[in-house]
Structure 1
Amino acid sequence: MLTSTRSEHVTRLRRLHERKGRLRSGSFLAEGPDCVTAALEAGLGIEVVEVIGVEDHSLMDRVLDLGIPFHAATQRVVAAIGDAATPQGIVAQCTLPTTDADSVVARGGPIVVCDRISDPGNLGTIIRTAEAVGAAGVATTGGSVDAWNPKVVRASAGSIFRLPVVTGLEELRVMDVIARGRTPIALHGAAQVDVVEALKAGADRGITRDDWVWIVGSEAHGVSTELLQAVEWTARIPMAASVESLNAAISVAIALYAGDGVT
């Protein structure tokens, strides 16, 4: 039973809260039953599980069947390893997956590019929404929050284990790497047409929902000037004049589901 929050074991796992620690170890944390279950189903190399109440935890039979090492731990230890405000009883150290752009482009469905999205909750929700709508995958540009940040993983509610996510793309490579053979469209508050109008115009030109690459920036800064200049299509989210902006995750959800309705 792990009882000390100051042990080397706990310190080592806490380093995975930082991107540097994740890159050095080649691993990240999955916290809570939903994320750990998704990690198990994805077949990721899970190195160790820290769990409260080993005897009656619902996931322990699967962990034992797979021969995954585990440690029983006190609630304080699990809370110290994870970063959730309320400990969820189980934390797993997982091997970082390797995803390349080709694995996203080869799949059916629209693609979402997150340009300098810094909020972990936003990125995790975008990944979850992208899976829900049947997207091919998600890509992030440099300057975005790391997709394997514990808060992103948790906000994705397991989707990050099932949907390909490519990280750290240079902005000017988005067109060559992700948007090749597809139609990039940037969400931009000053665009002349809204998303429904853009989708209808695209449909008239034979562009289907699976052809679109939706580019979204942060609520504070929007899509970069470089990307805006590189795309032919831009669209805005229709809003009441009294509302200045929507956060990135809501904007992406509106655009993706609008695409389902138009094409």
Structure 2
Amino acid sequence: MKSVRGLSRRSVRRRTGRVLVEGPQGVREAVRFAPERILDLYVTAEAAHRYADFVEPARAAGVFVHEVSDEVLAAMCDADTPQGTAAVVDWSAAELTPVLDAQPRLLVLLTHVRDPGNLGTVIRGADAAGADAVLISDASVDVTSPKVVRSTAGSLFHLPVVTGLDIEETLATLGAAGIRRLAADGTGESTMDESDLSGPHVWVMGNEAWGLEPGTQAACDEVVRVPIHGRAESLNLAMATTICLYASARQQRT
């Protein structure tokens, strides 16, 4: 119990290379897409019956499945209501070079994102829009934190997530690889509906509070804004990112 609960601390996650996945959505996707990385799966008696669609395949794949009480599961988890199941999973961030070697067409680069819910929701939105990878700068929230992992709803196991990137160096590398760098900012002269999003490109998103640093914006090929037709002052980071990614997906699939 103590070793699993310890994964709520970043220092323990870094030392062990493990994350805690809580709730049926995340655990189901881990079983489907990364069963070889699951070290232990914990499930209550009721949940073992309710979620047999992934508990039994996990057993068949050789995953250690432990039946525990509601009280034990609650003591191990960070979430107030872990919904009957959790899993300890080996996790390591993807690398940028293999992502570029695969000739991606749609990427998102998050610069100094600080809110766990925003980061998790962006990863989930990028997955849904068909993005090839999510890139995250250094000085951002830890992608393995329990709240981020929960917010991804399992998308963390669907696409590469590259972390700890130097922004200036990454933008230069992306440019050299022929990927257009689009800074998403309200000062953009063109909107995402007016920009050509058919070729390979990366959306560069700023911090929730102050947006993009001037130097980061200047290093991009184009500054693009999300049109606001009503009276809203601005959009939440995760919402704006998802809108941009879907605009790209629409053009690329057309």
| TM-score after normalising by structure 2 | 0.89
**Equivalent residue for 2:77?**
82
How far apart are 1:192 and its partner, in Å? Answer: 2.1
CA contact (8 A) 2:181 2:222 kept: yes
Identity %: 34
**Equivalent residue for 1:100?**
95
What is the distance in 1 between the residues matched to 2:33 and 2:248? 28
CA contact (8 A) 2:39 2:63 kept: yes
Range with bigger deviation, 146-155 or 253-262? 253-262
Q: Does 1:260 pair with 2:252?
A: no
CA contact (8 A) 1:219 1:245 kept: no
Aligned-residue RMSD, C-alpha = 1.9
How far apart are 1:237 and its partner, in Å? Answer: 1.2
What is the distance in 1 between the residues matched to 2:86 and 2:71? 13
**Equivalent residue for 2:27?**
36
What is the distance in 2 between the residues matched to 1:50 and 1:222? 40
**Equivalent residue for 2:134?**
138
**Equivalent residue for 2:188?**
191
How far apart are 1:210 and its partner, in Å? Answer: 4.5
CA contact (8 A) 1:103 1:164 kept: no
How far apart are 1:19 and its partner, in Å? Answer: 2.0
One-letter amino acid matched to 2:184: L
**Equivalent residue for 1:163?**
159
What is the distance in 1 between the residues matched to 2:66 and 2:251? 51
- Identify unmatched segments of 5+ residues in structure 2: none
**Equivalent residue for 2:171?**
175
Q: Deviations over 1:16-63 (max 9, x none)?
A: 112221110111011112211211222342111121117524133122
Distance 1:177 1:29, change over 3 A: farther
- Identify unmatched segments of 5+ residues in structure 1: 1-9, 203-207
Distance 1:107 1:159, change over 3 A: farther
Q: Does 1:248 pair with 2:233?
A: no
CA contact (8 A) 2:132 2:160 kept: yes
| TM-score after normalising by structure 1 | 0.86
**Equivalent residue for 2:13?**
22
What is the distance in 1 between the residues matched to 2:141 and 2:81? 22
Distance 1:234 1:123, change over 3 A: same
2:233 aligned counterpart, secondary structure: coil
Q: Deviations over 1:80-130 (max 9, x none)?
A: 222223221111100013411123222543100111111111111111111
How far apart are 1:240 and its partner, in Å? Answer: 4.1
Alignment of 1:187-226 (within 5 A): 187-197=184-194, 199=195, 202=196, 208-226=197-215
Distance 1:157 1:236, change over 3 A: same
- Residues paired across the two proteins, number: 246
**Equivalent residue for 1:49?**
41
What is the distance in 2 between the residues matched to 1:120 and 1:167? 14
How far apart are 1:170 and its partner, in Å? Answer: 1.0
Following TM superposition, where does structure 1 have runs of at least 4 consecutive aligned residues deviating by more than 4 angstroms?
Answer: none
What is the distance in 1 between the residues matched to 2:186 and 2:58? 47
**Equivalent residue for 1:234?**
223
